[in-house]
Amino acid sequence: MRVLGAGIAVWLMAGAAYATDPVEGVWQTIPDDNGHYGHIEVKPCGAAFCGVLVRAFDETGAAIDDAPEIGKQIIWDMVAEGGGFYDGGKVWSPDRDKVYASKMTLTGDSLAVEGCVLFICRDGGTWTRVK
Protein backbone atom coordinates (compact mmCIF):
# COMPACT_ATOMS: atom_id res chain seq x y z
CA MET A 1 0.00 0.00 0.00
CA ARG A 2 2.87 2.36 0.81
CA VAL A 3 4.40 1.74 -2.65
CA LEU A 4 1.07 2.47 -4.33
CA GLY A 5 0.75 5.75 -2.41
CA ALA A 6 4.29 6.77 -3.38
CA GLY A 7 3.58 5.89 -7.02
CA ILE A 8 0.43 8.04 -7.05
CA ALA A 9 2.33 10.95 -5.47
CA VAL A 10 5.04 10.73 -8.14
CA TRP A 11 2.41 10.56 -10.88
CA LEU A 12 0.61 13.65 -9.52
CA MET A 13 3.85 15.63 -9.30
CA ALA A 14 4.78 14.63 -12.86
CA GLY A 15 1.36 15.77 -14.05
CA ALA A 16 1.86 19.16 -12.41
CA ALA A 17 5.24 19.54 -14.10
CA TYR A 18 3.59 19.09 -17.50
CA ALA A 19 0.67 21.42 -16.77
CA THR A 20 0.23 24.34 -19.14
CA ASP A 21 1.20 27.76 -17.79
CA PRO A 22 -1.63 30.31 -18.07
CA VAL A 23 0.45 32.61 -20.33
CA GLU A 24 0.74 29.94 -23.02
CA GLY A 25 -1.42 30.58 -26.05
CA VAL A 26 -1.96 33.16 -28.77
CA TRP A 27 -2.16 36.85 -27.84
CA GLN A 28 -3.29 39.82 -29.93
CA THR A 29 -1.06 42.87 -29.53
CA ILE A 30 -2.26 46.44 -29.52
CA PRO A 31 -1.79 48.41 -32.76
CA ASP A 32 1.75 49.72 -33.33
CA ASP A 33 2.72 53.18 -34.60
CA ASN A 34 1.49 52.18 -38.08
CA GLY A 35 -1.83 50.77 -36.86
CA HIS A 36 -0.64 47.20 -37.47
CA TYR A 37 -1.08 44.46 -34.88
CA GLY A 38 -0.23 40.83 -34.59
CA HIS A 39 -0.89 37.48 -33.00
CA ILE A 40 1.96 36.25 -30.81
CA GLU A 41 2.13 32.56 -29.88
CA VAL A 42 3.67 32.18 -26.42
CA LYS A 43 5.22 28.83 -25.48
CA PRO A 44 7.82 27.51 -23.07
CA CYS A 45 11.43 27.73 -24.24
CA GLY A 46 13.63 26.05 -21.68
CA ALA A 47 12.84 27.38 -18.21
CA ALA A 48 11.35 30.60 -19.65
CA PHE A 49 8.69 31.65 -22.17
CA CYS A 50 9.10 32.90 -25.71
CA GLY A 51 6.67 34.31 -28.24
CA VAL A 52 6.69 34.26 -32.04
CA LEU A 53 4.63 36.39 -34.41
CA VAL A 54 2.27 33.95 -36.16
CA ARG A 55 -0.07 36.41 -37.92
CA ALA A 56 0.09 40.08 -38.87
CA PHE A 57 -2.75 42.52 -39.65
CA ASP A 58 -2.92 46.01 -41.13
CA GLU A 59 -4.85 48.97 -39.72
CA THR A 60 -8.09 47.75 -41.37
CA GLY A 61 -7.79 44.28 -39.82
CA ALA A 62 -6.81 42.62 -43.10
CA ALA A 63 -4.19 39.87 -42.78
CA ILE A 64 -0.71 40.68 -44.05
CA ASP A 65 0.31 37.20 -45.17
CA ASP A 66 3.71 38.26 -46.51
CA ALA A 67 4.82 40.36 -43.50
CA PRO A 68 8.57 39.77 -43.08
CA GLU A 69 8.19 39.67 -39.28
CA ILE A 70 6.00 36.53 -39.32
CA GLY A 71 7.90 33.68 -37.69
CA LYS A 72 10.25 36.02 -35.85
CA GLN A 73 10.69 35.95 -32.11
CA ILE A 74 8.97 38.84 -30.35
CA ILE A 75 9.35 37.64 -26.71
CA TRP A 76 12.21 35.64 -25.16
CA ASP A 77 13.65 34.74 -21.76
CA MET A 78 10.43 35.71 -19.92
CA VAL A 79 10.44 33.94 -16.54
CA ALA A 80 7.30 33.16 -14.52
CA GLU A 81 7.62 34.76 -11.08
CA GLY A 82 4.23 33.57 -9.80
CA GLY A 83 0.93 35.36 -9.33
CA GLY A 84 0.63 36.16 -13.05
CA PHE A 85 3.90 38.11 -13.09
CA TYR A 86 6.61 37.43 -15.72
CA ASP A 87 9.97 39.21 -15.69
CA GLY A 88 13.55 39.16 -16.90
CA GLY A 89 12.66 38.85 -20.56
CA LYS A 90 13.00 40.85 -23.74
CA VAL A 91 10.39 42.07 -26.20
CA TRP A 92 11.21 43.18 -29.73
CA SER A 93 9.06 45.96 -31.18
CA PRO A 94 9.21 45.51 -34.97
CA ASP A 95 7.76 48.96 -35.76
CA ARG A 96 10.62 50.65 -33.88
CA ASP A 97 13.15 47.84 -34.34
CA LYS A 98 14.05 48.07 -30.65
CA VAL A 99 14.47 45.39 -27.99
CA TYR A 100 13.08 46.25 -24.57
CA ALA A 101 13.94 44.69 -21.21
CA SER A 102 10.40 43.69 -20.34
CA LYS A 103 7.92 42.34 -17.88
CA MET A 104 4.37 41.09 -18.29
CA THR A 105 1.41 40.81 -15.95
CA LEU A 106 -1.33 38.27 -16.68
CA THR A 107 -4.87 38.89 -15.44
CA GLY A 108 -7.40 36.47 -16.88
CA ASP A 109 -7.34 36.88 -20.66
CA SER A 110 -5.37 40.15 -20.54
CA LEU A 111 -1.59 40.45 -20.68
CA ALA A 112 -0.08 43.83 -19.75
CA VAL A 113 3.33 44.28 -21.39
CA GLU A 114 5.91 46.96 -20.52
CA GLY A 115 9.56 47.45 -21.30
CA CYS A 116 12.55 49.78 -21.15
CA VAL A 117 15.58 50.57 -23.32
CA LEU A 118 18.19 52.29 -21.16
CA PHE A 119 16.05 54.73 -19.18
CA ILE A 120 13.30 55.09 -21.77
CA CYS A 121 10.28 52.97 -20.87
CA ARG A 122 7.32 52.15 -23.08
CA ASP A 123 3.94 50.73 -22.26
CA GLY A 124 3.41 47.84 -24.66
CA GLY A 125 -0.29 47.92 -23.89
CA THR A 126 -2.59 45.17 -22.82
CA TRP A 127 -2.73 42.23 -25.17
CA THR A 128 -5.85 40.06 -25.44
CA ARG A 129 -5.96 36.27 -25.53
CA VAL A 130 -7.00 34.91 -28.94
CA LYS A 131 -6.77 31.24 -27.88
Question: Where do the structural domains in the chain lie, given as residue ranges?
Answer: 21-129
Of the CATH numbers 2.40.128.520, 2.40.50.100, 3.40.50.300, 3.40.50.1580, which one belongs to the domain with range 21-129?
A: 2.40.128.520
**What would the 3-class secondary structure string for 31-78 be?**
CCCCCCEEEEEEEEECCEEEEEEEEEECCCCCECCCCCCCCCEEEEEE
Q: What is the mean pLDDT of each run of 10 residues along the chain (131 residues)?
A: 41 45 96 95 97 98 97 97 96 92 97 92 94 80
Q: Can you tell me the distance from the alpha carbon of 12 to that of 42, in angstroms, rounded to the nearest whole number?
A: 25
Q: Are 11 and 17 in contact (CB under 8 A)?
A: no
pTM over 0.85: no
